[in-house]
Structure 1
Amino acid sequence: MKLAHIILAHSKPLQLRRLIDSLQDESVKSFVHLDAKCNADEYDLPNEQGLEMITPRFDVSWGGFSQVMAIVSSIRCVLNSGEVYDYINLISGQDYPLKPVSAFKAFLEKNAGKIFMEFHLPGHAWVKEAIQRISKYHFTDFKFKGRYLLERIINTLIPARKIPKDFTIIGHSTWFTIDWESALYVVKFFDENPSFIRRFNYTWGADELLIQSVLFNSHLRSKIVNDNLRYIDWSEGKASPRILTMADAKNLRDTNCFFGRKFDMEIDQDIVDYLDTQALKVI
């Protein structure tokens, strides 16, 4: 079982290094996309075979289409790396494994041919709201003054964009674990359908639905398992999940999920120490 992790990172150099170290295995490689806004000199990342820095680097805005561009570019980097991986796992620099690498690989071997992503189907309130994200114009990737006023003017004057009726929109979570065949399909779809992909430019939160919808509308739909294998706590009802701390230690130890999201060592380093010494310890 050969596994590639794509790590999207934009901050917290020490935590990123800790994450990379926790993923080390002879049949595992980490591909890191470091946000173009970051100073790479501040990141003391290991120079070894188990790590590759992704280029080009994108200036990613939260919710912007730049996030989708960074993800697809990262998948392309893995595909062009000269190695074939059974699975590609997308995580952020603030995720952390909850079980040993060996357990994750064993799970994927047992479930070979399946791909894992979490989503809601049409009719769900989340999908209904998400349609507004892609039918209206959003200038999230721009920084100029007055961009929100311009958004309102354009969305008043220009008709809403429409997605073809034969393309079903699903989504909810950005993070996924896909096999090699699915990764090839995603990149090929983006390459061969540029006019369709342009419909998602100037949208908001397309990273939570576009790649998922591309796979759902393909011949690969039957391979999808509606589970992203992540422990994420949305109990605070905010746009971002709750930061996990030692208060979550028991739940993280008992869960069947393989990764937790999200952690912040500046808020609670003890939980990361706990995971290293307890959850990730191979017995």
Structure 2
Amino acid sequence: MSRPNSTDTPRFAVYILAHDKPWLFADLVHSLQHEQIDVFVHIDAGVDQQPFERALRSGSAAHFVPASRRVRVHWGGFSQLDASFALIDLARANDRRYHRHSLFSGTDVLLRPMSELIATWADDRELIRIDRRIGDASDPMAAKVLRLHFPDHPQLDRLRLSGRIPRRLNTAVPLYQGSQWWSLTDGALDAARAVIAENPRWLRQHRFSLCPDEFVLHSALMSTAFGAKVEQNYAGLSREPDRTVHGQHFIDWSDPEGIRPPELTADSLTQALAGPAMFARKAGPDWTWRAEPAC
């Protein structure tokens, strides 16, 4: 059950992972300023935090993860989850309880009026995308967990050891894979983290998996009753899923061979606005559209 707030007005926690482009990060924070929203920020420990603090506009408020919990984040590494957990713990440390928790990158863009966003966040849907259940070795995603990977250990990565050493898989929690970016109710997030806490050996193994940010929380959630509330659950379905809507995000994965989604353009922004997504990613260095908080 979600923990109630002290009033009937729901509150929402926003978690932002940022490592570059402070001006885009500041735009996102500014667009999310609302009396019902608290913004929590993790700045990659490999960069200076001060430019991000200075970039915040007058009237923008955000709570930064303290230096003692900041981590250096590597693409594909468990460090992505360490940073996300630091954000959740920071929000849990205050006296407020939140109806919903949402994870973003610092280059995301708000697409909708604030009133529409608040209405969406106030319901009980679990806005996370599940693309597949990772099964046996024939699964194209299985190599991410059936072999050792070292993205958080650059020295080992440079020796080209990642993905070359096989291992046995801990099956304590069945694996489901999907988009890293999610928006979960308080009860769902609590339930998923409880599963993770109850399976420390399973979690430890995934410190050497590739992109565990795409399946650790997802798998834990799917092993709870909240898995039935996931709207975008494509696991086991034969139909081709939409490749642009991921939870509450527009992300253009229309190229199945792409390593990373392309940056937002005028054309893709038009496509995003025509769909149901609340946010789009990711804005590039030449992005000029400035979102404003909408009443």
1:171 aligns with 2:171: no
Q: Which residue of 2 aligns with 1:225?
A: 231
1:18 aligns with 2:27: yes
Measure, in 2, the Cα distance between the counterparts of 1:251 and 1:124: 34
SS at match of 1:240: coil
Q: Which moved more, 1:79-88 or 1:166-175?
A: 166-175
Q: Which moved more, 1:225-234 or 1:13-22?
A: 225-234
TM-score w.r.t. length of structure 1:
0.86
**Of Structure 1 and Structure 2, which has the larger fraction of its residues in helix?**
1
Question: Displacement, 1:103?
Answer: 0.7
Pairs within 5 Å for 1:247-262: 247-262=267-282
Match for residue 70 of structure 2 among 37, 54, 57? 57
Amino acid at match of 2:267: A
Q: Does the Cα contact within 8 Å between 1:161 and 1:199 map onto a contact in 2?
A: no
Pairs within 5 Å for 1:67-216: 67-109=80-122, 112-122=123-133, 128-144=139-155, 147-151=158-162, 155=165, 159-164=166-171, 167-216=173-222
Question: Displacement, 1:46?
Answer: 5.7
Query: Residues 75-102 of structure 1, C-alpha deviation per residue, up to 9 Å, x if partnerless?
Result: 1221222210110011100111110222
SS at match of 1:188: helix
Q: Mark the runs of 5 or more structure 2 residues left unpaired by the alignment.
A: 1-9, 233-245
Q: Does the Cα contact within 8 Å between 2:42 and 2:70 map onto a contact in 1?
A: yes
Q: Which moved more, 1:215-224 or 1:183-192?
A: 183-192
Amino acid at match of 1:65: F
Root mean square deviation of aligned Cα: 2.5
Measure, in 1, the Cα distance between the counterparts of 2:134 and 2:200: 28
Question: Displacement, 1:113?
Answer: 2.5
Measure, in 2, the Cα distance between the counterparts of 1:131 and 1:101: 40
CA separation of 1:41/1:123 partners in 2, compared to 1, >3 Å: closer, same or farther? closer
Q: Which residue of 1 aligns with 2:7?
A: none
Identity of aligned residues (%): 24
Amino acid at match of 1:114: R
Amino acid at match of 2:149: H
Question: Displacement, 1:130?
Answer: 2.1
Query: Residues 179-206 of structure 1, C-alpha deviation per residue, up to 9 Å, x if partnerless?
Result: 1112222333333322121111111111
CA separation of 1:22/1:152 partners in 2, compared to 1, >3 Å: closer, same or farther? closer
Measure, in 2, the Cα distance between the counterparts of 1:6 and 1:255: 23
Q: Which residue of 1 aligns with 2:262?
A: 242
Amino acid at match of 1:254: A
Measure, in 2, the Cα distance between the counterparts of 1:12 and 1:199: 33
Q: Which residue of 1 aligns with 2:240?
A: none
CA separation of 1:209/1:252 partners in 2, compared to 1, >3 Å: closer, same or farther? same
Q: Does the Cα contact within 8 Å between 1:72 and 1:187 map onto a contact in 2?
A: no
Measure, in 1, the Cα distance between the counterparts of 2:157 and 2:227: 42
Amino acid at match of 1:163: N
SS at match of 1:82: coil
Query: Residues 50-72 of structure 1, C-alpha deviation per residue, up to 9 Å, x if partnerless?
Result: 41012311111000111111112
Query: Residues 120-177 of structure 1, C-alpha deviation per residue, up to 9 Å, x if partnerless?
Result: 233799x922221011111110122664334466x1xxx522131x632111200000
CA separation of 1:152/1:248 partners in 2, compared to 1, >3 Å: closer, same or farther? closer
Q: Does the Cα contact within 8 Å between 1:168 and 1:213 map onto a contact in 2?
A: yes
TM-score w.r.t. length of structure 2:
0.82
Q: How many residues align?
A: 268
Measure, in 2, the Cα distance between the counterparts of 1:168 and 1:132: 15
